Structure 1
Amino acid sequence: MRRDRVPRWYFSLRSPYSWLAYRDLRTRYPDVLDRLEWRPFWEPDALSERLLTEAGGAFPYVAMSRAKHLYILQDVRRLVRERGEESTWPVDRDPCWEVPHLAYLAARDEGRGAEFVDVAYRLRWNEGRDICDSGTIAAIARELGLGESRLVEAVDDPKLRERGTTALLEVHRDGVFGVPFFVNGYEKFWGIDRLPAFAASVRGPGGAVEPAREPASTSDPGGDQGHAGGCG
């Protein structure tokens, strides 16, 4: 199969919507998840933004209004409850999103990219941990049985920075403006609410029908934090 025909999803370790989409893919559409190419999306720091610009790309960032920020907090609480999930909303203090996302690329080199995402999402959204902290990245490495230094130092690795630029160029070329974002052939789907339609397109004729909702719970993530504008 041609690489541009492989269905793919763009995810961010920052976004609660990406976390919930990952959870739905894993629990409701595992056959679809197994067929996807995983592509990371993150807000670049000054160095990554310069490298991206020099490569002819641009990052589609739009500042978030206060009204949208408050809506997202409410919306995520609702979605978490619907899934019977428990969450602790994290607090990001001067985050550098290259730290977890370049560490993901390093883990992927070891064949552990999916497991890295799974643990990072758990630490961030279930435990409220700061995944931009080197200590948290080291903890992920230990849990996965990977070398701590390789993952912790990924943010300072020139080769991984170069590959990060390539990843951000793919964001630019695919016209991704928020996450989760799904692509199947020429069809694009933005947001967690489009996941059933994306799954159906991947499965083909007679494919996915939205499963029954899982039991609701009274869990509440609480907290107050924004994230990249345009997240679906």
Structure 2
Amino acid sequence: MKRPPRLYFAFRSPFSWMALRRLEELYPQAADTVEFRPFWEPDEDLLARLRAGGGEFPYTPMSKAKHLYILYDTKRLAASLGYTMSWPVDVDPWWEVPHLAWLYARRQGREREFYRLVTEARWERGENVCDPALVRELAAEAGLDGDAAASAASDPDLREEALAALHDLYQDDVFGVPYFRVGRHRFWGLDRLAAFLDVLDPREGDAARDGDARELPALARVPVPAGAGVPDAVPLDSDSAGGCG
């Protein structure tokens, strides 16, 4: 059976937030035709189990230069799309909290409502979506059991589902978000949204280009300052600003 189009998202990534929001504006049927899948940095337990099963998490640490570029540039990109944005501050985030809660919401058929509430909290109000108390509130607002959603990151059954999801993204060669895949076609980054829509529906791809007639800027390739805390031996991602690796 032919696999449906897949779209990998992350609550951490502003480019993922903007790309999915723009996708649903241009192509409202995306929720029914595209399979949404989560991408997040696994905790030590899930990462060890992923590697034990022959997988790996294909993540390249972000240089300080790229992080600063994204920090300064994403508000401008959001404004160009007409979105209001508040940059959140992440302190020791446990990304399993919102992403496994999303897996729980998907089991209940409420993943779209929950996704919307989490992204609004994070990117429009700058709230900490890794806080179980906040996840509890958002889940309840989405019509879910708030306690079940807030504790999803520790639920053994959901952690097994999360492990399978990590294996899937490894098999799909996903290295960052937003990441789109349709058959053999693969696209990474906010600036590849029109190309993704071209494959789904060429008319929508043209509409995306007509509505977004602007170039997303290339990443400023500036050196990392001395003492930036980035180990010299660590390979650093210096690719397009249209996605988060």
Instruction: Answer yes or no: same fold by TM over 0.5.
Output: yes
Which ranges of structure 1 fall in alignment gaps of 5 or more residues? 215-227
Quote the Cα distance in structure 2 between the aligned partners of 1:62 and 1:8. 22
Quote the Cα distance in structure 2 between the aligned partners of 1:147 and 1:128. 24
Quote the Cα distance in structure 1 between the aligned partners of 2:192 and 2:143. 35
Deviation (angstroms), 1:60: 1.0
Contact 2:26/2:204 (<8 A) preserved: no
| Aligned pairs, number | 216
Deviation (angstroms), 1:153: 1.0
Higher relative contact order (CA 8 A, sep 6+): 1
Contact 2:10/2:39 (<8 A) preserved: yes
Q: Which residue of 2 aligns with 1:231?
A: 244
Q: Which runs of 4+ in 1 moved over 4 A?
A: none
Deviation (angstroms), 1:133: 0.2
Q: Which residue of 2 aligns with 1:46?
A: 44
2:81 pairs with one of 83, 86, 99: 83
After the TM superposition, which residues 181-220 of structure 1 pair with which residues of structure 2 at under 5 Å, given as runs?
181-204=179-202, 206-209=203-206, 210=208, 211-213=210-212
Contact 1:88/1:127 (<8 A) preserved: yes
Which ranges of structure 2 fall in alignment gaps of 5 or more residues? 214-235, 238-242
CA deviation string 1:60-114 (max 9, x = no partner)? 1211111111111122122111011111111111100000000000011110011
Percent of matched pairs sharing the same residue: 45
Q: Which residue of 1 aligns with 2:65?
A: 67
Which deviates further from its counterpart, 76-85 or 36-45?
76-85
Aligned AA (2:6): R
Aligned AA (1:208): G
What do you get for the CA RMSD once the two structures are aligned? 1.8
Cα separation, partners in 2 of 1:92 and 1:157, compared to 1, 3 Å: same
Q: Which residue of 2 aligns with 1:121?
A: 119
Deviation (angstroms), 1:213: 4.1
Give TM-score scaled by structure 1 length. 0.88
Give TM-score scaled by structure 2 length. 0.84
CA deviation string 1:17-45 (max 9, x = no partner)? 00001110121221334310011000011
